[in-house]
A and B are shown apart, each in its own frame.
Chain A
Amino acid sequence: MDTSQYLSVFMDECREHLQTLNQSLLELEHDPENSSILDQIFRAAHTLKGASATMGFNKMANLTHTMEDVLSKLRSKELTMTPEIVNTLFEAVDLLEILANKIGEGKEEDIEISGVVQALQLFTVSGVAVQPQQERRKNIQLRYLEAEKDEILAAINDETGLYHFTVKMAENCVLKGVRVFMVLREIERLGTIVKSVPSLKDLEDEKFDQEFIVAVLMSNPPEELAKCIANITDIAEVNFEKIDPQNLPLEKRAQNQTVEDRVKVTGQTVRVDIRKLDVLMNLVAELVIHRSRLESIGSVLQSKDLDEVVEQVGRLTLDLRDSVLKTRMVPIETVFSRFPRLVRDLSKELGKEIELIIEGGETELDRTVIDEIGDPLVHIIRNAVDHGIEPPEEREKAGKPRTGTIRLNAYQEGNNVVIAIEDDGRGFNVEKVKEKALKMGLVTKEALAEMREDQILELTFMPGFSTASKVTDVSGRGVGMDVVKIKVDSLGGMIRIHSVFGQGSLLEIRLPLTLAIIQTLMVQLGKEIYAIPSGYIEQIISLRQDEIKQVRSQQVCMLRGELIPIIRLQDVLDTPDAINHELEELDVVVLRVGDRLVGCVVDSLLRQQDVVIKSLGGYLGSVKGIAGATILGDGKVALIIDIRAVA
């Protein structure tokens, strides 16, 4: 069978399952008793096995099959979870990831899997039934939900007690369903069934092994009921215990709930090629443009009916645009989810104890931003683990808890999403940064003396900067932070550092919600119209020509007691016939680029407008000073200015 057309779907699924595996394994490491997590891992491995076998990727199928063996023994409690097993499973998942990548390149055969397969098989072979039969009964436990507890407590009084009947069927029992029915009828005769494990429905459907537990409220003596049940054919054993209503075994409900929720969410999604969404976005953008045209025609014709329709169409178009934008949004969790594993591995490697707290994973960002932000975050977290958090002994000496904390938080703030990475490690040593910056010749001593602390810290974003005296395998090669800064800049974002030496540091990345639509100020320059992204605009001022002074080759003006440089936009954009030299009153857009303010003289201000950013296309590639283009209401193209290249 030619499966090539399914390859991309397979790869997508593969990635999803690998992510689940990684994530769940981490959870399992912390909570080895939780069977629902184990179930999830098992399902993922199982699906992966089926899919890879169908696609003919035998190595992957083979590996997942071996994993499945181990997992199923863990589920049936024939094996108990040990750190070795978890580690080996992690190794297997890593190998699966490598396999998946190789499959993407079309060379699965290059990878050797026998080592890990053998390690896994060792567990299944040597894994003797660790728990004796008697112990195994504890596998099924009857636990109550918070809501059920209240009802039960209300029903219990001096006469009526709560009993758990554990019924075991004979091993060769043929008609289990019938026997169960008889047991239940017997119980109903003498008491009330509150709950059972497995559920009553599963019991009737024969979905259980050999034993089940029924919780019964009854005032009759339980011995009598036990005898009645034991008399039924094929019942091997009946036990009962009286349950103390004050000590009801309660379900760890919250956890189960989240697992269920997650399963539900994945069931309701459709996988769509991002290009299809791009096409949709383009169509909607067209619609928005034509809406504006309709509006301008409507205002000329002055027909009430037309106006009404135009307004309706306008509202719908905007709603449609918002919906399409929303479909492009992805929770940042997809990026965050790989960090627990990263931190776990790194801290083991470095002998540190680190707890990673992730918050705000549900915060949504445009898919294009999500794709780009992963690598910079990896850099930052690696830095935090390697340089930020101290070894446990050093922490104790400094009077801090042995375990360091890295807090990863994302939240929306207006039209931005803020990602904050905070650690309680040693923080930045400002003196050391100064020293290094001087040595590298990045700044002069005089300039340094005037800089605020946060400005000094921003020097660490310069290429080649690293204060780590020793280069480790993890980070500190002097690449990283500058790359982070460049990436964040290219996404139209900002990055800031706060740090208290000895107490920790906080990095804040501020990103636009979407790269598809931005708010701009339209300005006129000669016959041309340009869009200036509003995010950079500090304020708009009006100046008389004589308020602009010439200082050497630079034009400047005073703003709130400070001199700021003035640029004429036409000089940067080579615009012919700009008229602002001849005007008495000048419109100046004051832009903020990093810490600097720059006044930008234009001919006139037109309006504020949300515009859909379009690329100039691969043919032109990147043009200096231009961030993209947009289509105006009249169908004309206006260019969006790349402020960082201009100011």
Chain B
Amino acid sequence: MKAKEQIVEETKQLIIFKLGEEEFGVDILQVREIEKLDQNITRVPKAPAFVEGVINLRGEIVPIVDLRKRFGLSLKPIGSDTRVIIVEVNDNLVGMMVDAVVKVLRINVSAIEDAPQIAKGVDAYFLNGVAKVDDRLIVLLNLDRALSAEEAKELREADLGE
């Protein structure tokens, strides 16, 4: 909702990716790049459970978050379509592991509505809203919340609660 206020223009561009059959969108301005997972992820002991580990992104160490684990969805092995979307959150680089990246989509800001309590199995707390495009529903991620390390613990507890 905050992002909504900041947008002066009518449209915004989203990267659309898939977790299972559901489509999610993330603001393209927050995305640095999209990588194939062609290297091993190095496990980090004692890191939060949804952190798969770290990779070497051209000399920089970047942690990888498994979004399925983060949202408490059922797990899926890494496949040929698996991608890592490298985003910048609070000046830190984080890689989001997703099932597949679909396309870049331009949507009208007016098409964005508040998210329902739970959209496609993901808590509204992590969302910026939902957008209706044609007859599809795209869930817009609030990256600051979805990836926030501070709330990692809180969230794990919440996950256990569900």
Report which A residues bind B (CB closer than 8 A): 282-283, 285-286, 289, 528, 572-575, 614-621, 623-626, 629, 631, 635-639
Bound: A618/B61 CA distance, A: 11
Interface string of B95-127 (1 = CB under 8 A from A): 000000000000000000000000000000000
Q: Are A626 and B45 in contact (CB under 8 A)?
A: yes
Known: A289-B59, A619-B147; 17 extra A-B contacts, CB below 8 A, are A573-B45, A574-B45, A614-B60, A617-B61, A617-B92, A618-B91, A619-B63, A621-B149, A623-B45, A623-B46, A626-B46, A629-B42, A629-B61, A635-B39, A635-B56, A637-B55, A638-B42
Q: Which A residues are CB-close (under 8 A) to B6? A: none
Pairwise interchain contact A631-B92, C-beta atoms closer than 8 A: no
Cα of A286 to Cα of B57 in the assembled complex, Å: 11
Q: How far is the CB of B63 from chain A (nearest CB, A)?
A: 5
Q: Name 21 interchain pairs, CB-CB below 8 A, sorted by A.
A: A574-B45, A616-B63, A617-B92, A618-B91, A619-B89, A619-B92, A619-B94, A619-B147, A619-B149, A620-B44, A620-B51, A620-B54, A624-B46, A625-B45, A629-B42, A631-B59, A635-B56, A636-B42, A637-B42, A637-B54, A637-B61
| A625 adjacent to B61 (CB under 8 Å) | no
* Contact assessment for B147 and A286 in the assembled complex, using a CB-CB cutoff below 8 Å: no
B17 to chain A, nearest CB (A): 19
Residue tally, chain B, CB below 8 Å to A: 26
Please tell me which one of the listed residues A283, A617, A624 contacts residue B59 in the complex, with CB atoms under 8 A apart. Answer: A283
Minimum CB distance partner of A529 in chain B: B42
Q: How close is A282's CB to chain B, nearest CB, in angstroms?
A: 5
Question: Which A residues lie within 8 Å of B91 (CB)?
Answer: 618
Tell yes or no: B43 within 8 A of A by CB: yes
A626 touching B44 in the complex, CB below 8 Å, given contacts A617-B92, A619-B147, A620-B149: yes
Q: Which residues between 22 and 45 of chain B lie within 8 Å of chain A, taking CB atoms? A: 39-40, 42-45
Closest to B40 in A: A636
> In the assembled complex, how far is the CB of residue B41 from the closest CB belonging to chain A, in whole angstroms?
8
Out of A573, A616, A621, which one reaches B54, CB within 8 Å? A616
| B93 on the A face (CB < 8 A) | yes
Within 8 Å CB of B147, what residues of A?
619
Cα distance A285–B46 in the bound complex, in angstroms: 27
Contact call B59/A286, Cβ cutoff below 8 A? yes
Q: Kindly list chain A residues whose C-beta atoms are within 8 Å of the C-beta of B75.
A: none
Q: Which B residues form the contact surface with A (CB < 8 A)?
A: 39-40, 42-47, 51, 54-56, 58-63, 89-94, 147, 149
Tell me the complex Cα distance, A285–B60, Å.
10
Q: Are B93 and A619 in contact (CB under 8 A)?
A: yes
Q: Is the CB of A623 within 8 A of B47?
A: yes
Question: How many Å from the CB of B127 to the closest CB on chain A?
Answer: 20
User: Which B residues lie within 8 Å of A286 (CB)?
Assistant: 58-59
- Contact indicator A625/B46 (Cβ below 8 Å): yes
Q: Is the CB of A528 within 8 A of B43?
A: yes
Contact A636 B39 (CB under 8 A): yes
Task: Choose among A285, A286, A615, A623 the residue with the greatest number of B CB atoms under 10 Å from its CB.
Answer: A623
- When the two chains form the complex, which single residue of B45, B47, B54, B92 contacts A618, counting CB atoms closer than 8 Å? B92
Given A573-B45, A637-B56, A617:B39 Cβ within 8 A:
no
Q: How far is the CA of A623 from the CA of B60 in the complex (A)?
A: 17
> Do the beta carbons of B56 and A631 come within 8 Å of each other?
yes
**Interface core residue of A289, A615, A636 (most chain B CB under 10 Å):** A636
List A contacts of B44 (CB < 8 A): 616, 620, 623, 626, 639
Chain A residues lying within 8 Å of B55, measured Cβ to Cβ, are 637
Residue numbers in B under 8 Å from A617 (CB-CB): 60-63, 92-93
B93 surroundings in chain A (CB, below 8 A): 617, 619
- Minimum CB–CB distance for B92 against chain A, Å: 4
A527 and chain B: residue at smallest CB distance = B40
Q: Compute how far the CA of A638 lies from the CA of B92 in the bound complex, rounded to whole angstroms.
A: 20
For A575, the chain B residues whose CB sits under 8 A away are 45
A614's nearest neighbour on chain B, judged by CB, is B61
- In chain B, what residue has the closest Cβ to A638? B42
B92 contacts across to A, CB distance below 8 A: 617-619
Complex Cα–Cα for A528 and B53 (A):
12
Q: Which residues of B are found within 8 Å of A289, using beta-carbon distances? A: 59
Contact B60 A282 (CB under 8 A): yes
Report the separation of the CA atoms of residues A573 and B53 in the bound assembly, to the nearest whole angstrom.
13
Contacts of B42 in A (CB 8 A): 528, 629, 636-639
Query: In the bound complex, how far is the Cα of B89 from the Cα of A618, in angstroms?
Result: 10
Q: What separation, in Å, do the CA atoms of A319 and B99 have in the docked complex? A: 44
| Measured CA separation A626–B43 after assembly (Å) | 11
Give which listed residue, B40, B46, B54, B89, contacts A629 with CB less than 8 A.
Answer: B54
Closest to A572 in B: B45
Contact residues in B for A636 (Cβ distance below 8 Å) = 39-40, 42, 56
The complex places the Cα of A286 from the Cα of B56 at a distance, in Å, of 10
